[in-house]
Structure formats: C-alpha cells, structure tokens
Amino acid sequence: AEAADALVHGADEIDLVLPYDAFLDGRPDVAAAMIDAVRAIVGSPRRLKVILETGSYPDLPAVDRAARLAIEHGADFIKTSTGKTSASASPDAARTMLLAIRDTRAVTGRTVGIKPSGGIRTAADAAIYLAIADEIMGPEWANPATFRFGASGLLDALEAVIAGDESVAAADDASY
C-alpha cells in the first residue's frame, strides 16, 4: 500500500527493505512474497530497489543468497543498507552482490544495478567500491543506470576534493 501511494504521488523508484529477519530465520518465502508484491505494483519502467541490510547478515554466503533472491524476484537494483544500522556497506558485501549481478547477466542478459549505501563518506571510500565494480563487471559498467552511491555525506566530500580542499584529500588518504 505504501509503494502504491508513493507511485500515485509521482515516485518513479521504490526502495523496499528485504524482510531480512524472516530471510535469516529460514523463511525466504516471506522475503520473496514481499518482493513479488511490491514488484507487481511498481511495474516497468519504474525501478524497484531492494535493500538487503547486509551488515545484519552472519556471513557472505547469506548476503549472496539474499542478493540472488532479490534479483530473481525482480529487483532492478540491490542496495547494501539503509544506513540506519550499526554496520552498513562493506566492500566484501558489495563484491558478493556484484558477483550475483554478474552471474544473472551471464545467464539471463538482464541488467541489475547496485547501490552501496551507508558509511561511505570519502572519495577514497567511493573509489574502493568503483574499483570492485570495474574488476567484476568491467570498466564501462558503472554508470547512473547501474551504479549509485547512497551516502548523504559523500557529496560534500567529493565537492571538497574537486574544489581542491587538501584537508579532505588527506582524510581520504587516511581511510585506506
């Protein structure tokens, strides 16, 4: 109902937090049913972004299973996190998700995007995620239709680097 209301009011993208507690409790059918229901409402050409909340998973195989479930049930983007939990995006989770995206493309030809989100605050942080995408998907893959950052503090940091703010550049170097 919330997705339908948002679409009526002009939204062209819907974010859905995967019911990860149910998924992790061994009830992937609950997560699949939620994605299916929202996907049916969203329709094309609108986008459905499924947020996995990867920092809450016990291991990377669980992240992989959740990413593949979301993709199989119609996610146009998979997103690491809401940024509202204690653990958000991680390079390892993004790598795992990108491998699922790559495998899907190889089998079905379908393009699915990724949105690393939460805890990405510097240009150096962003560069890490872009390098992983380039490594797995190829250097031409990351573009606005397939790769986005969900990091509210990142824009200010990038603008400062572009403007030549050396203090931000030094902070970026320290984050490696």
Q: Can 84 be counted among the known catalytic residues?
A: no
Separation CA 116–CA 90 (nearest Å) = 8
Selecting among 49, 76, 115, 172, the annotated active-site residue is 115
Beta strand 77-79 pairing with 13-17:
unpaired
On the CB side of 163, CA atoms within 13 Å amount to: 9
DSSP-derived letter for residue 56 is G
Say if CB 114 and CB 165 are below 8 A apart: no
- Residues 6 or more apart whose CB falls under 8 angstroms from that of 134 comprise 141, 142
Selecting among 49, 79, 125, 172, the annotated active-site residue is 79
Separation CA 127–CA 136 (nearest Å) = 14
Selecting among 15, 76, 125, 172, the annotated active-site residue is 15
Tokens 């299916």 -> residue:
36
Q: Can 49 be counted among the known catalytic residues?
A: no
Q: Can 12 be counted among the known catalytic residues?
A: no
Positions marked catalytic: 15, 79, 115
